């Protein structure tokens, strides 16, 4: 029997951390308001709660317009439609992200082009974008991943130079600010998710934001079965679908957004305290701070684990040991999309992959993004935002557990354990 919980010792932390999602009487009151009305759906468009929330969401993100939609994936799809993406157009996206960032590109029969991430931020590496631009490039789709921003200064400069559009995937960045500007406000459009794990959530939902009325009108028509938009100044008539958000979800979002600022402050303080506790630990690397991030919106606290500073013990063992010490965390949280089991691209389903080519583009095998592969399979350790909503003592437990595992790392050499085997699987393949 060893000292680590995974080898039979006492777990360092037995008390659960803050759970997520968090709801309260504010959500109940808002839900009751919908329940006792006859307006449960997104019609008449936009619903009372959806438009009240959208107005506040736009203010928080320093834009003129926001539109609720049914999911974050749909938000990206609607934003792509708004910029007029055409079949065969290319869209540059980071390789290290959730599959939902690029799924909508394929769905519109456009072609995702994967670019590696910056190891300092784990976001799209702006230095590599220009090499990926071709005459077919229509848009850049940066993701503000985890707790950092993609370098928007550089991305906007490159986009202007090459006359391509920018859609910010802000699924992790609610309330975040870059040089005082809201996440999603700097590109042509921003896309948000309100799925259960997100910083504001209603179970499933999303939003598109923009300063451009024409784009907003297209988004509204697209997600409201092609009906005229609320303002209808551009009179676009397009085929649309029902991607509206229901009023129950919108009501919950209205209550959630009230708590965002306070919660973000608590998370940021606790994360900064964790960093003071981890500084100088050779096996642990921190993502580089960026003073241009003027308000942190951490969906996940992400650190780097260096196996070569931990007697070669693989990240899967380190993470599994932490989990058994009572610290919720994940290693293989994301992987390069082109290698993911959730990305089984069949060219027969996406004709643009074959157009003008003898053989279809083989998206699964044509890329090698070393930094994305390093982060995905070896280095990144993700701690979800809710565990930073508690006290300093909670943070001490995280830091103490990391130190405990590293001090007893020998116990993990050659150890076989179900939790380690589970950690080696992608999230889609795991038991739970």
Ligand X SMILES: Cc1ncc(COP(=O)(O)O)c(C=O)c1O
3-state SS, one letter per residue, for 33-70:
HHHCCCCCCCCCCCCHHHHHHHHHHHHHCCCCEEEEEC
98 lines the binding site for ligand X (CB under 6 A): yes
DSSP string, 316-348: HHHHHHHHHTT---BSTT--BGGG-TT----GG
Cα 51 to the center of its chain, rounded Å: 24
Tell me the closest approach of the beta carbon of residue 427 to ligand X, in angstroms. 11
195 lines the binding site for ligand X (CB under 6 A): yes
Of the pair 192, 215, the CB lying nearest ligand X is at: 192
Identify which of 141, 149, 156, 211 has the alpha carbon closest to the alpha carbon of residue 174.
Answer: 149
Of the pair 67, 317, the CB lying nearest ligand X is at: 67
77 lines the binding site for ligand X (CB under 6 A): no
42 lines the binding site for ligand X (CB under 6 A): no
Alpha helices in 279-411 (DSSP H): 315-324, 370-374, 392-407
* Near ligand X in 146-175, by CB under 6 A: 169, 171-172
Of the pair 68, 406, the CB lying nearest ligand X is at: 68
97 lines the binding site for ligand X (CB under 6 A): yes
Tokens 């583009």 sit at which residue?
A: 361
340 lines the binding site for ligand X (CB under 6 A): no
101 lines the binding site for ligand X (CB under 6 A): yes
Identify which of 336, 329, 326, 339 has the alpha carbon closest to the alpha carbon of residue 284.
Answer: 329
Which of these ranges, 66-74, 109-117, 240-248, 318-326, lies near ligand X under the rule CB under 6 A?
Answer: 66-74
Tell me the closest approach of the beta carbon of residue 311 to ligand X, in angstroms. 33
256 lines the binding site for ligand X (CB under 6 A): no
| Residue 193: CA count within 13 A, CB half-sphere | 23
- Return the residue nearest ligand X (CB atom): 72
Residue count (the chain): 432
CB atoms within 10 A of CB 271: 19
**Prior bond of 21 cis (ω within 30°):** yes
Tell me the closest approach of the beta carbon of residue 226 to ligand X, in angstroms. 22
381 lines the binding site for ligand X (CB under 6 A): no
71 lines the binding site for ligand X (CB under 6 A): yes
210 lines the binding site for ligand X (CB under 6 A): no
Separation of alpha carbons 111 and 87, rounded Å: 8
Which of these ranges, 94-102, 134-142, 236-244, 403-411, lies near ligand X under the rule CB under 6 A?
Answer: 94-102
Of the pair 299, 318, the CB lying nearest ligand X is at: 299
Q: Which residues of this protein are in contact with ligand X, per CB under 6 A?
A: 71-73, 97-98, 100-101, 143, 169, 171-172, 193, 195, 206
């Amino acid at each position: 029997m060893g000292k680590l919980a995974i080898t039979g010792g006492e777990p360092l932390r037995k008390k659960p951390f803050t759970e997520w999602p968090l709801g309260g009487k504010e959500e109940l009151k808002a839900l009751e308001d919908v329940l006792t009305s006859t307006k449960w759906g997104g019609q008449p468009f936009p619903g009372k709660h959806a438009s009240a929330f959208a107005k506040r969401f736009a203010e928080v993100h320093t834009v003129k317009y926001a539109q609720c939609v049914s999911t974050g994936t749909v938000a990206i799809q609607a934003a792509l439609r708004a910029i007029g993406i055409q079949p065969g157009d290319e869209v540059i996206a980071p390789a290290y992200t959730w599959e939902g960032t690029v799924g909508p590109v394929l769905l519109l029969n456009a072609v995702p082009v994967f670019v590696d991430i910056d190891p300092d931020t784990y976001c799209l590496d702006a230095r590599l974008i220009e090499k990926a631009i071709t005459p077919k490039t229509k848009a850049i789709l940066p993701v503000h991943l985890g707790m950092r921003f993609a370098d928007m200064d550089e991305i906007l400069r490159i986009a202007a130079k090459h006359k391509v559009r920018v859609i910010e995937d802000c699924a992790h960045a609610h309330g975040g600010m870059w040089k005082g500007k809201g996440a999603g406000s700097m590109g042509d459009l921003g896309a948000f998710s309100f799925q259960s794990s997100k910083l504001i959530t209603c179970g499933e939902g999303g939003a598109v934001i923009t300063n451009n009325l024409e784009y907003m009108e297209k988004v509204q028509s697209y997600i409201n079965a092609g009906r005229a938009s609320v303002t209808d100044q551009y009179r676009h008539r397009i085929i649309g679908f029902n991607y509206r958000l229901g009023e129950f979800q919108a009501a919950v979002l209205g209550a959630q957004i009230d708590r965002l600022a306070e919660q973000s402050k608590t998370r940021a303080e606790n994360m900064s305290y964790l960093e003071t506790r981890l500084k100088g630990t050779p096996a642990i690397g921190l993502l580089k701070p960026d003073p241009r991030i003027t308000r942190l919106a951490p969906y996940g606290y992400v650190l780097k684990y260096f196996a070569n500073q931990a007697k070669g013990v693989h990240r899967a063992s380190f993470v599994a040991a932490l989990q058994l010490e009572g610290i919720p965390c994940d290693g293989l949280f994301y992987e390069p999309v082109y290698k993911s089991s959730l990305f089984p691209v069949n060219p027969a389903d996406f004709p643009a992959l074959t157009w003008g080519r003898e053989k279809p583009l083989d998206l699964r095998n044509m890329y090698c993004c070393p930094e994305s592969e390093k982060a995905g399979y070896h280095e990144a350790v993700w701690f979800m935002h809710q565990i930073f909503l508690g006290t300093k003592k909670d943070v001490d437990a995280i830091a103490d557990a990391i130190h405990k595992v590293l001090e007893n790392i020998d116990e993990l050499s050659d150890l076989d354990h179900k939790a380690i085997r589970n950690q080696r699987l992608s999230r889609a393949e795991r038991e739970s």
